[in-house]
Amino acid sequence: MGHDDTAAQRLRLLQDEFTQPVRTGPGDGRSSRPTHAPAPVNLGVVDRIRAAVYEVETHTRSVAPEAGQFTGEESRVYDWARQHTAHLATEQQNAREAIIYRQDLEHAIAAGDTTVVRRHPCPQCGCWGLYWREAAQRAVCVNHYCTDDNGVSNMWELKRLAHDHIARKSAVAQRAT
Ligand SMILES: [Zn+2]
């Protein structure tokens, strides 16, 4: 099954946008040091990226201990994980892809693009009316009839959307063979 590599691209985008120190003014021409201190990097994003890489790395080692330590550049972790788990059973590859795809969604949302949740049908009613609720860190269904027993709109973690997305993709791939 084909992989979209947007998770790696989005991780790089996050790094470029939020974690590169930016020079805020020209130097005095005599020294290579900027006259102004660089803008502080966004430590929240740095931590998020580190946690994302760590999650993929530990998951990979848990199913493929021979993979060893990941030492590459952060956005390469997805390729590294796929390389070391390509021989595993479909379910394990799907589990890996669900993690990568969930991180793809997380990176997009961290960069301000919450519209990515709209590309998924609601797991309960199947409608295409999910929107992101930042405070809950969940995708909420817009359908008034799609509620839990207390009448509260159904909400979904990215983990669930990613799992369903990969399961659908895998089913399509298996029918094609
Ligand atoms: Zn729904």
| DSSP letters spanning 14-73 | HIIIIIS----S---SSSSS-SSPPPPP-HHHHHHHHHHHHHHHHHHHHH-GGG----S-
Residues 108 and 120 in one domain: no
pTM of the entire structure? 0.84
**Higher pLDDT among residues 69 and 19, named by residue:** 69
Average of pLDDT values for 153-172? 96
Distance CA 139, CA 63 (A): 30
From the CA of 147, how far away is ligand 1's center (Å)?
A: 7
From the CA of 127, how far away is ligand 1's center (Å)?
A: 6
The whole domain housing 63 covers 1-23+39-112
Residues 103 and 141 in one domain: no
Residues 48 and 128 in one domain: no
Could you give the number of structural domains in the chain?
2
Would you say 117 and 132 are in contact if contact means Cβ atoms under 8 Å apart?
Answer: yes
From the CA of 9, how far away is ligand 1's center (Å)?
A: 30
Q: Is residue 28 part of a domain?
A: no
pLDDT cut 90: percent of the chain above it: 74
Residues 97 and 172 in one domain: no
From the CA of 171, how far away is ligand 1's center (Å)?
A: 22
Rg (CA), the chain: 20
Residues 120 and 79 in one domain: no
What pLDDT does 44 receive?
A: 85
Residues 103 and 122 in one domain: no
Q: Which of 30-39, 41-50, 127-136, 153-162 has the lowest mean pLDDT?
A: 30-39
Distance in Å from the first CA to the final CA of the chain: 10
Stated as kind and residue range, the H or E segment containing 140 is: strand 138-141
From the CA of 172, how far away is ligand 1's center (Å)?
A: 23
Average of pLDDT values for 86-102? 97
> What are the tens digits of pLDDT across the range 2-38?
466 799 999 999 888 887 765 555 544 444 555 555 5
Instruction: Tell me the two tokens of residue 147.
Output: 């509620």
From the CA of 146, how far away is ligand 1's center (Å)?
A: 5
From the CA of 162, how far away is ligand 1's center (Å)?
A: 16
From the CA of 145, how far away is ligand 1's center (Å)?
A: 8
What pLDDT does 175 receive?
A: 86
Would you say 158 and 139 are in contact if contact means Cβ atoms under 8 Å apart?
Answer: yes
